[in-house]
Amino acid sequence: MASECLFCRIATGEIPSARVAESARCVAFRDVSPQAPVHVLVIPKAHVSSLDDVADDSLTAELLAMARDVARAEGLVDRGYRVVINTNVEGGQTVFHLHLHVLGGRRMQWPPG
Ligand code: AMP
């Protein structure tokens, strides 16, 4: 764990969050500044800085499966939803602990800004 990392501290519970799902390696919690009626972040508990830093792609698959399960649990599947992974600066990443955004409950626009 990187002790100064915000999402590491959320993963341990040191910083509170509204959790919606948890497994041995991953946790999902509501974004503090939601950009849609449903906005959940899915993260690995262990520190991984970005998608490009994942060493074990079984973790990538587990994160994506949790994002899908969150979308199902939030009732987003029929209307549709979006999963986003902002990666590094031009990708819009601001917190350097890998996270998947699960966004839904409104019509998404394309292209993204
Ligand atoms: P990104 O810009 O892709 O790195 O996304 C970082 C996300 O983390 C943003 O959507 C923030 O609103 C969210 N965020 C920052 N601090 C917290 C927090 N303490 N709890 C939940 N979400 C947070």
pLDDT one-digit tens code per residue, 38-91? 999 999 999 999 999 999 999 999 999 999 999 999 999 999 999 999 999 999
Name the residues annotated as catalytic: 99
pLDDT of 1 over the 90 cut = no
List, in order of start, the domains of the chain with CATH numbers.
2-104 (3.30.428.10)
Q: Which residues contact 75 (CB under 8 A, 6 or more apart)?
A: none
| The pLDDT of residue 113 | 86
Q: Which atom of ligand 1 is nearest to the CA of 33?
A: 12
* CA 108 – ligand 1 centroid, Å: 19
pLDDT in tens, 94-107: 999 999 999 999 99
Is there an atom of ligand 1 within 6 Å of 31 CB?
A: yes
Model-level pTM?
Answer: 0.98
Q: Which residues contact 36 (CB under 8 A, 6 or more apart)?
A: 103, 104, 105, 106, 108
Tell me: cis bond preceding 111? Omega within 30 of 0 counts: yes
* CA 31 – ligand 1 centroid, Å: 6
